Chain A
Amino acid sequence: MRVLIQLRPSPDLVAAVAAPDLTATTADVTGDLPGVVLDHSYTPVALPRAQPAMTGGDPLSLNQPLIFSMAPEEASVLVRGEISDDESSARLALLPGRHRDVVGVYADPVIETSLTCGGTPPVGTWQDVARLLEVAQLEAEGYDGTGVALAICDTGVNAAHVTRQLGRDITIDRDRSWNPGGVSGEAGWFAVDHGTMCAFDTLIAAPRASLIDIPVLLSRRQGGTVMDGLLSDAVAAFAHLRTVLEAQPAATRALVVSNSWGSFSPLWDLAPGQPGNYSDNAAHPFNIIVGSLEQAGADILFAAGNCGTECKDRRCAYPARPIVGANSHPQVLSIGGVDTGGERVGYSSQGPGRLSDRKPDICAYTHFSGSKAFGDDAPDSGTSAACPVAAGLVAAIRTRWPASQLPPSQLRTLLHRTADDRSDVGFDYDYGYGVADTMAILGALKRRAERHRL
């Protein structure tokens, strides 16, 4: 978290900062502050003291005539720094008491005029995403998804549309695809919709992966509506995927599961704290089966959601901490979104997560012109697109690194460790550990192969 720190150093220093003909630096004003990474590129700013203009005025009220004093013994100085998101509340509260010069610590939010939001036109194309993901390098080193099963749990895939937009044949694994009860239609032959976008986006980094089509969001089971499945359908889908995984030889298991969906509202859920609750409850059946499938060797990815504070989806109804349930499960990768400029899109949900604090895990690219599933001018958007982009990268890695050699938990750690950090202090609740970085991943895998003589 970026912060502004208000200091009251000696009057001489305040005078030096305020003097127009002198340039005082952060190092002149203060030494190290505990837990704060000071930004030495920021020139300290003198801040006048506001005082009531009339005798007897309320010293804490700004709703009265004020005078502002730059007298060195009254003014203060602002410097800029960053504190870890993990302990921001404690730092904000404790720092003024632990350092005699610190008067206050305030948030320094990013101010932007061009943040990518829901109505923004596409930012770049899927070819840009391929370039940013270093797909040519991945393919040159044999990481193309060959032999990797990649499940798209969504609204079903239209293979002809994906083939047309991608300009190459794709593989739908019809034998291992699965429909929830009551859903008719064949794998790869569903209407062009959200699931088709997801399938397209996985294939950017893993063009030779075998897609398993799981139209879990098409269920019309009692209690659901068209285009909304029920969580119980996802429970059944994951049970099917477990049979898929267990049918693979143990030494070469590779199953990646991409989930660009979630629950927008607490209205259909029991309240947190009740035993039957989903959003905050690791004992819910879906959260149990997610853990069980990961334990068996699957890489499970969930979109972080589109409830970012700057331009959230209007369906977002959680008042805070919108990364809920399995989307925040400690054994999944929760994926936030950045545009092809590397900036977080304003709708990408921020942490902390409800089941696991450190969410999102990492970010991947979204909001680019890609599948055209929603029209020629509409971007592949939402963390819905970021999740399959990341799933494709994971599937590419699995081409040469099955779960027996790189268990899902270790792969998650590798992605955390190699991510392009977007802050100066490691993990933060906007970007997680950072943006997935293919070259850093390849370097780490090469070192691992040398260590293990693979």
Chain B
Amino acid sequence: MVLVTVQLPPEATLQQAMQQLGLTEDEVDTAYGLVPLDPEQGLYALRVTEDAGHRVTPAAGGPFSDPPIEPYGPPR
């Protein structure tokens, strides 16, 4: 899965994002939902399949990598 970003009005829902980008439920991590990145700019993020991520650009920003993150310690 990858991250994409989308511009939406305040208080937008995942359904609105999916509709705007032409995404189906199978292509979206609905449990992750729609996450506001910068409310003042109306910028949101969602997780989608790689294929969908490539298809929805440039209407959406990305697709962006979603790398694993690990604790920085103890040093091995």
Contact = CB atoms under 8 A, between A and B. Distances in A.
Contacts of B32: 181, 221, 232, 236
Interface in B1-30: 1-3, 5, 29
B66 A230 contact: yes
A372 to B, nearest CB: 12
A155 interface: yes
Interface stretch (A14-22, A71-79, A282-290, A436-444): A282-290
A235 to B, nearest CB: 6
Given A276-B62, A381-B74, A384-B72, A182 B3 contact: no
Given A181-B31, A382-B75, A278 B64 contact: yes
Contacts of B61: 283, 285
A285 B3 contact: yes
A292 B38 contact: yes
Contacts of B40: 292
A306 B72 CA distance: 6
Interface residues of A, number: 65
B75 A381 contact: yes
B47 A228 contact: no
Contacts of A268: 65, 67-68
A309 B38 CA distance: 37
A271 to B, nearest CB: 10
B56 interface: no
Interface in A251-305: 260-265, 268-270, 275-278, 281, 283-285, 288-289, 291-292, 303, 305
Nearest to A347: B75
B52 interface: no
Contact of B3 (A227, A232, A242): A232
Main secondary structure on chain A at its contact with chain B? Answer: loop
A276 B63 contact: yes
A378 B74 contact: yes
A283 B62 CA distance: 9
B37 A225 contact: no
Contacts of B65: 231, 268-270, 276-278, 284
A319 interface: no
A328 to B, nearest CB: 13
A275 B5 CA distance: 12
A383 B63 contact: no
B37 A311 contact: no
A260 B34 CA distance: 26
Given A231-B66, A232-B66, A155 B73 contact: no
Given A231-B67, A261-B69, A285-B62, 20 more contacts: A181-B33, A227-B70, A230-B68, A231-B68, A232-B32, A233-B69, A239-B37, A260-B72, A261-B70, A270-B65, A277-B64, A278-B64, A278-B67, A281-B64, A285-B3, A288-B38, A303-B72, A381-B75, A384-B71, A387-B72
13 contacts: A231-B67, A232-B47, A236-B35, A239-B37, A268-B68, A285-B3, A285-B45, A288-B5, A291-B38, A303-B73, A313-B76, A314-B76, A315-B70
Interface of B: 1-3, 5, 29, 31-33, 35-40, 43, 45, 47, 61-76
